[in-house]
């Protein structure tokens, strides 16, 4: 049975429990030492016994998935429903059969796209439940894959379409391959950006955040910030869905990005 790190919710290869989680040992995250409880592991079967998935319609065509009680970082996965097939954006660390049945009723999963390594979750298990759905990971982050699978599609460059009509875009920043999804039909046709924490929605919804490390509070450098800003400037969207439940900029998302990047630049320049 493939172990699951309880700190980040990422599943590793079948076999003995590792000494530490490579995802959490990286400087962007942290290993739960001392008061955090230390490195702990579980399995998908154990987690499915006492966790459930909360399924919520975020808007027509978009469904949010959250593990309850909280597992790992506590992120939300999103299912984008399109006539060409459904895209699962980011993955949870546990797969439960009632949720699989619900997603099948909603049209299944044609492809899975992952924003960055912290949200890989149990992506191989999710793929296997949906007939080996391809799992899109940018090649810049390929070394962070923790569980082998033939389902991975390591893509190159700045853009790919995991499902026709949905644009998976590499922005970098948090990780070299950190990505977002542009959903043109979202927000009633005004466009929605599914940003995970490549571009994080913050409590003040007039702004967003971009960080190299969120828990350790390390910002991206000025050159990376400018490259991300240039990439986002050419996109059309009004709404932003962040990584966690309830983190949504419902309107004015493009302006929030422009405003936030200008503020970051001022503070980085001093």
Q: Answer whether 177's CB lies under 8 Å from 118's CB.
A: no
To which residue do tokens 């950006």 refer?
Answer: 193
Mean pLDDT of 241-259: 98
Tell me how crowded residue 60 is: count the other CB atoms within 10 A of its CB.
Answer: 9
Other beta carbons less than 10 A from residue 140's beta carbon: 17
Residue spans per domain, the chain: 3-41+51-269
CB 230 within 8 A of CB 171: no
Quick one: pLDDT at residue 30? 86
pLDDT of residue 31: 76
- The whole-angstrom separation of Cα 260 and Cα 266 is 10
Cis peptide before 133 (omega within 30 of 0): no
Tens of pLDDT, residues 11-38 = 999 999 998 899 999 999 987 644 456 7
Res 141 pLDDT > 70: yes
Place of tokens 């590793």: 12
Pick the CATH number of 3-41+51-269 from 1.10.150.120, 3.60.15.10, 3.40.1190.20, 3.90.1280.10: 3.60.15.10
Tens of pLDDT along 170-205? 999 999 999 999 999 999 999 999 999 999 999 999
Query: Is 136 in contact with 168 (CB distance < 8 Å)?
Result: yes
135-138 and 152-155 beta bridge pairing? parallel
The residue-averaged pLDDT of 160-167 equals 98
Query: Is this structure's pTM higher than 0.85?
Result: yes
Q: Where do we find the tokens 């949720």?
A: 99
Q: Are 164 and 83 in contact (CB under 8 A)?
A: no
């Amino acid at each position: 049975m493939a172990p699951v790190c309880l700190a980040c919710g990422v599943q590793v290869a079948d076999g003995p429990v590792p000494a530490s989680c490579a995802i959490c040992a990286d400087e962007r995250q942290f290993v739960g030492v001392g008061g955090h409880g230390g490195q702990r592991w579980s399995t998908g079967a154990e987690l499915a016994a006492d966790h459930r998935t909360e399924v919520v319609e975020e808007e027509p065509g978009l469904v949010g998935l959250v593990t309850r009680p909280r597992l790992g970082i506590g992120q939300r996965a999103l299912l984008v429903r399109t006539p060409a097939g459904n895209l699962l954006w980011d993955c949870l660390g546990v797969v439960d059969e009632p949720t699989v049945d619900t997603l099948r009723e909603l049209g299944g999963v044609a492809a899975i796209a992952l924003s960055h390594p912290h949200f890989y979750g149990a992506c191989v298990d999710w793929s296997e439940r949906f007939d080996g759905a391809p799992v899109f990971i940018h090649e810049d982050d390929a070394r962070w894959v923790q569980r082998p699978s033939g389902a991975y599609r390591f893509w190159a460059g700045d853009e790919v379409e995991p499902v026709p009509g949905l644009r998976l875009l590499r922005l970098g920043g948090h990780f070299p391959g950190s990505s977002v999804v542009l959903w043109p039909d979202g927000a009633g046709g005004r466009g929605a950006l599914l940003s995970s924490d490549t571009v994080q929605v913050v409590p003040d919804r007039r702004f967003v955040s971009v960080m190299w490390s969120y828990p350790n509070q390390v910002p991206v450098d000025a050159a990376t910030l400018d490259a991300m800003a240039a990439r986002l400037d050419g996109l059309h969207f009004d709404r932003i869905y962040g990584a966690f439940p309830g983190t949504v900029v419902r309107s004015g998302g493009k302006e929030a990005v422009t405003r936030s990047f200008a503020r970051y630049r001022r503070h980085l320049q001093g």
